[in-house]
């Protein structure tokens, strides 16, 4: 099977699958190139409330396909950063579901998601020092924001792998699940995310990111959306709310 990014949408959840199992789901240049437009299409789909990124089979992503580094020196890294930034900018909640290897560019993609759930057998490594690559400032700062300066330096300086338990302790992942339970937990949690206010999630995502959030903008969105009134009414009536706000286009 040709390396590809597969996707499907069901019950408000878009699932994007990295599929290059012959090379542990390593990303080719074409796969890096394909991710930003795919994300843009899913972001514009009003039926998508949240997004899951995962890998086919028993591996998340082993990074960039090294053969593409030789064919196009420097180019895959540029494409990887564009893909990473597109994922970080996705306007709805994103979750990386990780099993097996999450290495190099794969770890970049996982870090660019809002949340990361991992199987207990997952392994993580940030490997530019093994290839003489310098990660850009934005990528490095994103890693530091998750794990702190000391752990980020450990990972970047050494390229050594850490297990899921250590990834959880350092903040690289948010939950670690026993073998066989990852898919069920991701399905359960994304169902919760899809039922919540996208307005609240979008504003929180912006405020939690780098730079200053647009408080006046979000206050206006809250007033105009009707979501607050619907949330209060649903609470008092003991029913599930029907939130209507979606991100403005353009």
Residue 71 reports pLDDT greater than 70: no
Q: Is 212 left (phi over 0), alpha (psi -120 to 50) or beta?
A: beta
Residue 86's H or E segment, with its range, is helix 75-88
Q: Are 108 and 68 spatial neighbours (Cβ–Cβ below 8 Å)?
A: no
Which of 76-80, 122-126, 137-141, 170-174 is predicted least confidently? 76-80
186-218 pLDDT, tens digit per residue, is 999 999 999 999 999 989 998 888 777 788 887
Question: Hey, where are the domains in the chain?
Answer: 4-193, 197-237
Helix intervals (H) in 66-162? 66-71, 75-88, 105-112, 137-158
* The pLDDT of residue 225: 86
Q: Average pLDDT of 222-243? A: 86
Residue 120 reports pLDDT greater than 90: yes
* DSSP SS3 for 176: strand
Q: 121 exposed, middle or buried (CB, 10 Å; 0-12, 13-18, 19+)? A: middle
How many Cα atoms are found within 13 Å in the side-chain-facing hemisphere of 121?
A: 9
Residue 75 reports pLDDT greater than 70: no
* The pLDDT of residue 224: 84
Please report how the helices 75-88 and 105-112 are oriented relative to each other, as an axis angle in degrees rounded to 10: 20
Confidence of residue 70 (pLDDT cuts 50, 70, 90): low
DSSP state of 178: -
Fold of domain 4-193? 2-enoyl-CoA Hydratase; Chain A, domain 1 (3.90.226)
Q: What would the two tokens of residue 44 be?
A: 């514009």
Residue 249 reports pLDDT greater than 80: no
* The pLDDT of residue 69: 59
Q: Average pLDDT of 124-132? A: 93
Confidence of residue 234 (pLDDT cuts 50, 70, 90): confident
* The pLDDT of residue 125: 98
- Mean pLDDT over the full length of the chain: 92
**Which one is predicted more confidently, 19 or 219?**
19
* The pLDDT of residue 49: 95
Q: What percent of the chain has pLDDT over 90?
A: 71
φ/ψ of 201, rounded to 5, equals: -65, -45
Q: Which residues face 6 on adjacent strands?
A: 17
What CA–CA distance (Å, rounded) separates 226 from 52?
28
Q: What would the two tokens of residue 95 be?
A: 């979750």
Q: Average pLDDT of 173-188? A: 97
Residue 112 reports pLDDT greater than 80: yes
Q: What would the two tokens of residue 240 be?
A: 């599930």
Q: Average pLDDT of 50-56? A: 98
* The pLDDT of residue 94: 98
Q: What percent of the chain has pLDDT over 70?
A: 95
Say which residue the tokens 């690559």 belong to: 133
């Amino acid at each position: 099977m040709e390396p590809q990014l597969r996707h499907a949408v069901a019950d408000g959840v878009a699932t994007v699958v990295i599929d290059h199992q012959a090379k542990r789901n390593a990303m080719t240049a074409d796969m890096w190139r394909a991710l930003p437009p795919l994300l843009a299409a899913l972001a514009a789909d009003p039926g998508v409330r949240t997004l899951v990124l995962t890998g086919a089979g028993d591996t998340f992503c082993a990074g960039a396909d090294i053969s593409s580094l030789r064919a196009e020196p420097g180019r895959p890294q540029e494409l990887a950063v564009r893909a990473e930034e597109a994922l970080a900018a996705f306007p709805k909640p994103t979750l990386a579901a990780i099993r097996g290897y999450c290495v190099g560019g794969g770890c970049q993609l996982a870090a660019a998601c809002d949340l990361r759930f991992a199987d207990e057998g997952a392994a993580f490594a940030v490997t530019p020092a093994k290839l003489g690559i310098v990660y850009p400032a934005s990528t490095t700062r994103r890693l530091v924001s998750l794990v702190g300066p000391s752990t980020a330096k450990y990972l970047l300086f050494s390229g050594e792998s850490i297990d899921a338990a250590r990834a959880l302790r350092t903040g690289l992942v948010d939950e670690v699940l026993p073998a066989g339970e990852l898919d069920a937990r991701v399905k359960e949690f994304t169902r919760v995310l899809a039922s919540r206010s996208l307005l609240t999630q979008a504003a929180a995502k912006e405020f939690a990111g780098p730079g200053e959030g647009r408080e006046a903008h979000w206050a206006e969105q809250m007033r105009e959306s009707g979501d607050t009134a619907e949330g209060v009414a649903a609470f008092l009536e003991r029913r599930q709310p029907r939130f209507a706000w979606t991100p403005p286009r353009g």
